[in-house]
Structure 1
Amino acid sequence: MTATLHIDEISTDDFLALARTGSEPVPIEQGPAWDPYDEAVEGREHWRRLVIKAGADAVAVVSLSAYEGRGFRYLWARHGPVWLTEQTPERERMVRAALIAYLRKEAPWAAFVRLHAKHPASDLHELLQTVTYDHTVILDLTKSEDDILASFSKRGRYKTRRTLKDEAMTVTEESNCTPEEFEELYAIYRETAERDGFGIFPASVYLEMLESLGEHVRLWVARRHDTGADGDLLPGRAVSWVLSTVYDNAGCDTYAAGNMEARNTNAAIRLKWEIITALKAEGITQYDLMGVGSDRAPTLMGVREFKQQFGEIVYVDPAWDVALKPLRYRMLGWALRAKRALRR
């Protein structure tokens, strides 16, 4: 690529028209469906949609949201840019250089921009906060159910068939649950976080997602039922749940939790099967299990073996920080490292 890149703000309609010419589904976080969620969460708002061009040809598009941390602000292109041409190291470098120049002028308040890139480079930094991943499992839902099951590992097929025979377990969609009903599920999430050693948001964040994303978010719950004296199943207790997003014919795990009873009964396996078959029936073409452990994401090693039961692990672009104010960014890094050291 030899042409000088330039960047323009574009409308949502133009953004989608370009983004959908790419080879992959548009990530929900890059689409307009995500905007109401950004608006609902304190300290976040959608900022702009941009097109990066070489002459008259669009190279990539990107949607950016503004985030406010404790004492600093930054921009995040979750699962962006969306590439419209071959994603070479040189093109990535040129796009970042153009973005840096644009953002320093148009967003002088931003300390850094967080975006995704395939190729490591000297201007890409490990994230100051949060977890990224560079490997996942993506299921092809255009296959028949038999072929999908056949693509599972031997152990995954065995567990799936076994849990489907468990008549004491049901899976239902409960996307319209009330805050009071969600308390049962949030208690399971707290148990999961304490067991596996990760942090979680207040329950309001997940409820805001359910409300603001509308038809693009689904909550699936696995329940275990005792049998009454008449032989009928009694109302079930939640043991595991998954919150999925669905956009541009693609689904994705977003949050998931399971208690010890779920682990002992393979409820998470049953949940995955019920989700993918339900979405397949609706015409959804792929389902992303959203991240497995790797050298870049060691904190996700605990779910790598579980998710590998459903298919082959594939590479995806991880997130990186790109400093817009290098000195300010270094100071933030020092402050955060000092804070973590004090906690330890």
Structure 2
Amino acid sequence: MTDHTKLRLDPIDADALEDLADAAGVAVPIEQAAVWDAYDAAIGERTPWGRLAAIDADDKVVAVIALTEYAGRGFTYVWAKHGPVWLTTPTADTEKALRDELRAFVASRSPHVVFVRLHAHHEADDLRPLLQTMTYDETVEVDLTPSEDDIMLAMGKTGRKKLRRTLRDEGFSLTEERGISREGFAELYDIYRETAGRDGFGIYPAEVYYSMLETLGDHARLFVARRTDEAGTDGPGAPGRAVSWVLSTFYDGVGQDYYGGSNLEGFETNAALRLKWYILMSLKAEGCVRYDMMGVGSAKAPGLMGVRQFKLQFAEETTPVDPSYDVPVKRMTYRALTWALAAKRLLKGSR
């Protein structure tokens, strides 16, 4: 019987990662694929760190993982976004064995790295809540293999009713906008800024989102809902004005939300619902088999409660996913960072 608590890590290249996952019948998340390296490289303070295969005592590859080095404010960490990619179903012991080997591997190769960020199915003592940002353990996934009618029937009753109503609205123009200029994207960024202000979340500079379109090529898809009438929420509006948009990714048969927003007019006309349906049907026609809406609120992710109701219009229930955690490599440094951030938040809250 194979001892899955003894693993070794061997460096591999991007092609080997894809081949191993393909042989196991496992889809590769776009963030673990070679195409993502160009996006990371285009964003300041991110560098592709390397790829590894986790191999058990029988020389069987049980997982593959791609990591990116992030330079934070005074510290560095590596992140396996949507990784490891498990080729077999891991036990808690197997996950722990991989983390132990990874911690040692990173410490020997990059002694400046303070922690590793990755996903895990089983909770464990060596896992820490994220030092910064948020994670989630539930999402909404839409199976795109059935017929269009059956996909609609699988929606929540309220969502299906609202979608049918908005499909009768002839004031929408829905398109995928390829080759948009920076000036054209500025209109969409203004909508995103409005969305962030309304919903209370932070956003990056516009260049981060535009770089995704530039570097990911056909794997980054920009969908926009525009109004063709002249009536706007605050008075007359020019036909062709954007009211909602979504930047999706599409890789290895899987589509997913990444960024997007709606202005007040889009909110009042259910533009996001109409646009999401257009995205689902467009990607389905191109062979997409599953669409992931990338997280909803839960006890672990209360900050995402605002999008839970909207996303559950497309499904009767949520899908559990593995949340992300920090794994300290330099334990004392990580502990000091934790204390410093806690003190900073306490000071901010007292003002």
What TM-score comes out, normalization by structure 1 length?
0.96
Letter of the 1:301 counterpart:
M
Cα deviation 1:283-303 (Å, max 9, x = unaligned): 111100110000110000011
Letter aligned with residue 157 of structure 2? K
User: For residue 341 of structure 2, what is the aligned residue in structure 1?
Assistant: 336
Q: Partner residue of 1:18?
A: 20
Is 1:327 the counterpart of 2:332? The answer is yes
CA contact (8 A) 1:52 1:61 kept: yes
1:141-160 per-residue CA deviation (whole Å, 9 max, x = no partner) reads 11100000000011111111
Does the alignment pair 1:106 with 2:109?
yes
- Aligned CA-pair RMSD: 1.4
Amino acid at match of 2:10: D
The aligned residue for residue 311 of structure 2 is: 307
Aligned residues: 340
Shift of 1:227: 5.3
1:81 corresponding residue in structure 2:
84
Query: Alignment identity in percent?
Result: 55
| CA-to-aligned-CA distance 1:176-218 (integer Å, 9 cap, x gap) | 2111111111111111111111000000100111101111000
SS at match of 1:155: helix
SS at structure 1 position matched to 2:178? coil
Give how far 1:310 is off.
0.3
Structure-2 separation of matches of 1:219 and 1:319 = 27
TM norm structure 2 = 0.94
Report the alpha carbon displacement of residue 12 of structure 1 after superposing the two structures with TM. Answer: 1.5
| Aligned AA (1:20) | D
1:285 aligns with 2:289: yes
- Name which of 237, 253, 270 aligns with 1:249: 253
Aligned twin of 1:34 = 36
My pick for the range that moved more, 170-179 or 111-120, is 170-179
> Does the Cα contact within 8 Å between 2:230 and 2:239 map onto a contact in 1?
no
SS of residue paired to 1:302: helix
Moved more, 5-14 or 28-37: 5-14
Partner of 1:161: 164
CA distance in 2 between partners of 1:42 and 1:103 (Å) = 22
1:52–1:95: 8 Å Cα contact kept in structure 2?
A: yes
The match for 1:60 among 60, 63, 78 is 63
Match of 1:46 in 2: 48
- Paired with 1:175 and 1:320, the residues of 2 have a C-alpha distance of 35
Q: Is this contact kept in 2: 1:175–1:217, CA < 8 A?
A: no
Structure 2: which 5+ runs fail to align? Answer: 232-236
Greater mean alpha carbon deviation, residues 272-281 or residues 334-343? 334-343
C-alpha displacement of 1:170: 1.4
Equivalent residue, structure 1, for 2:234 = none
Query: Are 1:270 and 2:274 matched, yes or no?
Result: yes
Contact 2:26–2:87 (8 Å) recurs in 1? no
Measured after TM superposition, the shift of residue 343 of structure 1 is: 2.7
Q: Read off the aligned partner of 2:228 and give its amino acid letter.
A: H
Q: Which amino acid aligns with 1:316?
A: V
Helix, strand or coil: the match of 2:298? coil
Q: For 2:184, which of 168, 181, 195 is the aligned residue? A: 181
Q: Find the residue that maps to 1:113 and give its secondary structure.
A: strand
Alignment partners' CA distance in 1, 2:301 and 2:56? 34
* C-alpha spacing 1:302/1:261, structure 2 compared with 1 (3 Å): same
Who is 2:130 aligned against? 127
| Shift in CA distance, 175/126, structure 1 to aligned 2, threshold 3 Å | farther
